[in-house]
Structures are given as structure tokens and as C-alpha cells.
Amino acid sequence: MMKNGFMRFDRLDNADIAPLERINNYKGLHTPLDEDKRREQAARCMNCGVPFCQAGVMLNGMYAGCPLGNLCPEWNELISKGMWNEAADRLLLTSSFPEFTGRVCPALCEKACTNGLDGNAVTVRDNELAVIERAFETGYIKACVPKERTGKQVAVIGSGPSGLACAQMLNRYGHEVTVYEREDLPGGLLMYGIPNMKLEKAIVLRRIRLMEEEGITFRCGSEVGEGISADEIMSGYDAVVLACGSSVPRDIKAEGREADGIYFAVDFLKSATKAVLRSGLAYGDHISAKYKNVVIIGGGDTGNDCVATAIRQGCRSVTQLEMMPKPPAQRTADNPWPEWPKVLKTDYGQEESIAVFGSDPRVYQKTVKRFITDENNRLKAVETVALSFDNGKPEQIKDSEETIPAELVLIAAGFVGAEEKLTSAFGAERTKRGTVMTEAGHYHVSGSLFTAGDMHRGQSLVVWAVKEGRDCAKEVNEYLSGCME
């Protein structure tokens, strides 16, 4: 390994395509480094005696480090030596889909990197992505077909990251796995919740094809609870895993909510991706931001994705309302390393808004008071009101109302749990948060029924969904093997 790489080499991220160039298409946002530069970046790893990057531990109510326990120092060293296949082997010991997390994960590993304590963290996520993409390009990644089958049949309902991870591991245990997906293509939020420029759909389909080669069956356009009953599923399989996500969006209660032109962000993003995949943007049969003033309610990742998508569709303006105060630019004293840094992040969508419109689209401590319509109930503006947090709770500030023109409003206020119709069909109890109830730290619901991912944990990150899927598969395997207590 290159000695003292963290002292010799500065951090160098994958290059960003310039905002004004990338908004002309829905392709990926970054270009990779060459091999020599990537090996230098891997050599910046200090090979810590106590590597927080891979710890995945709870600190003051927040997790620090990779939930999957990825062996970052080990495969960073192998990259630095040019041992790419060996690096892939170490990475794939703990990670099911590095090609996804290497693109969309907020890199909890890097936020806990020791180099980040008083400098710049190692480019762990970019290194991870380089390893898996090289493995695919060189043909090192091949279908992992079980040598023996157990004869057990498992149904996984939902093909998002938790469902895919669970299916992958159950298949490797030797069970026959069928994945049910109500959409026309598998992938869940990977396919229709994350825009193409952030995660190109060819990458998702590449993994799906590999899983099919491994023996996993995907049944798309199959909505369990509608065309297929829960009883039919439960009686037809030795075990069933519910991995349908936290799919009920949080709504906004404001006067005029029934106006035409108000959509949930998830529906907008799904519509946009479907249009991109079928090259149907010109047909006008999708939810379009073209020539419209767009207001997005919600300042998180989904809201940012809506900003970027609206810009690509040709919106007239875009405003992103965030009810919380603006985060600080640097860590505060009560948010030390290696905790997740609660600091201001300007993401790709906001960068593009700054480049196109000359300003950050985010407006803090604001919410919608009412939606204003024309005589045909079509949205034409929103009235906002400022918020204060003097007592820790948001309160509207008197006489702070403002009116913003808007023909399209996208609600990106998060999710409130799993769909009750589906959980009721399977007789699964729900928590107060709308998730499926299990014993703490476990995935077993009752009988042969299990659950994983956002449906079990609540709205979270892709990396957490993958971990849930892998851990759930282990518990299902124990049940099918007769080893479960």
C-alpha cells in the first residue's frame, strides 16, 4: 500500500458534469477518475485500528458508519495495490448492490472517516463504485447459482432494495424465490423513485438480469391484494416476506388542497421516469413541469430530485419550501465527529437551480397556508406563511403571508408508513408509525410471514433497506431450516 497516502494525496471526487450541460439530458451526473487517481484515493485510507467507517453504531440517536459493515479499509488497501478482483470479493461479502449504494447513498462511511476529523474523508463511496463497475466491465461478476436447492418456496412481495437483497440472499441459501412487483418493471424506488440521472435504469436492469440468471423469478404487474389474494400467497409458499416500502405519502392540509395541479412527489417522479424510459416526453401524457412555476413542499432528497427533474422538463421557475430552519454550514459543538453531520448540503438539483435561475430554490421556515385557484379549480398560486420555532414547535408568524405563482405543486413531505389495505390483507399489525409490527430487532411477523425494509423500519436510506433485506433473509432461512427459536 502507498505509505501515508492521506498525507500525500488530496481528496479528489469523481468529476461533476457542469450543471448547464447535464440538465439537457437524464444521464448520469459524474465521470469517474482514471485508475491511477483512483488508486491514490484508496491509498488515502489510514487503515485505522478502530475504523468508524464500517462500524454502523448508534451515537446520540444517530448511526455512525456503514450499516452494512462494509470492510472499507480492507478493500481500499486492495484497490491501492491494483488488486481489483480481490477488492470486489471483500466488498461483496457485506454488500449486495454496491452499484446502487455507490451512486445514491449519502455515504455514512465517509462521514465517520477518521480523515474527516480534521481534514477531508476518504472517497469511500466513489471507491466502492469503481470496484463494482470494474468487476462488471471485466466480466468478473457472474451469476451465483446455488449448487443445491432446498425445495422450499419463498415469495417476496416488493422489488425495492430490501426485497431484492432479501431475494438474493434467500436464493443463495438454496430456496426457490419469486418476487412480486405491481409495477411494470422491478426495482421499486430504485426504478421509479430515484431519477434516471441519479441512478440510470440500465444499472438496475443489469442487476435484475443477473438475479434472473441466478434463478430468481420476477412477476411484474402482479399486485398482491388485488389480482392475487394474500391467502393465495400464504398457502402457496413456505415463507412470505413483505417488502413493499413505506409507500403512503404524507399529505398537506391546507385550503384548496383539491385543486388541479397538486401531486405527490413520488407520482411526479414515477411519471417522469416512465416517460424517459419510453422516450415519451414529447407525448405530453406525463405530469409535466414544462413552462410552469413549480413549488415543491419539502427540503429533503426527494424534494431535490423534484427540483432537478422539473428543471430538465423546462419549468419556468422552481421554489422548494422547507419548514425547518436553515442548517449551519459547519458542525456545531453538540454534533461532533463521527456523528452524522447536521450541516447544510447543496445537492445536485439545487446546484442546477443556481446555475439556471441564479438562486438556491430553498426557502426555509416556510409552509403553505392555502392553494389559490382560478375559476376552473386549476392551481395558479400558493400562499405561504413564515414559521418560528421559539418554543421548539413551528408556529405561524402573524402577517408574514406571501403569494408565489404556481401551476404545479409537488408534495415531498415524506411517508407515513405501509399501505393499510395490504397489511390488513395479511393480518399484520401496524405500529403507531404505520410500519409492520415485529419483535424488536427481528423480522418475523407471525407464522410464515416476515417483513423487511421501509415497511418494517420506516422511511429510510437504500443502504438500510439492503441491510434489512439481508438480515431478514437470514431469519427466514433459520425458520425454513427449523432453527428459529
For residue range 364-385, what is the model confidence (pLDDT) as tens digits? 999 999 999 999 999 999 999 9
| Residue 395 one-letter amino acid | E
Beta strands in 389-477 (DSSP E): 395-396, 402-405, 408-411, 444-446, 449-451
Mean pLDDT along residues 259-265: 98
Q: Is residue 419 over pLDDT 60?
A: yes
pLDDT of residue 280 exceeding 70, the answer is no
Per-residue pLDDT, 128: 98
Q: Is the pLDDT of residue 176 over 60?
A: yes
Distance from C-alpha of 115 to C-alpha of 331, rounded to nearest angstrom:
15
Instruction: Determine the 3-state secondary structure of 369 from DSSP.
Output: strand
Pairing of strands 239-242, 366-373: unpaired
Whether the per-residue pLDDT at 34 is higher than 90: the answer is yes
Average pLDDT over residues 285-300: 94
Q: What is the pTM of this model?
A: 0.95
| Coil, helix or strand at residue 14 | coil
> DSSP string of 396-411?
EPTT--EEEE-SEEEE
Whether the pLDDT of residue 485 is over 60: the answer is no
- Convert 142-177 to b/e letters by CB count within 10 Å (16 or more is b): eeeeeeeebebebbbbbbbbbbbbbbbbbbbbbbbb
Nearest CA-CA partner of 164 in 415, 442, 453: 453
Q: How far apart are CA 114 and CA 105, in angstroms?
A: 19
Question: CB of 149 within 8 A of CB of 162?
Answer: no
What H or E segment, with its residue span, contains residue 306? Answer: helix 301-313
Domains of the chain, first to last:
5-137 (1.10.1060.10), 153-247+416-480 (3.50.50.60), 262-411 (3.50.50.60)
Classified as helix, coil or strand, 422 is: helix
Q: Which three cell numbers stand for residue 156?
A: 417476496
- Contacts of residue 193, defined as CB under 8 A and 6 or more positions apart, other chains included, come to 266, 269, 270, 302
Per-residue pLDDT band for 63 (boundaries 50, 70, 90) equals confident
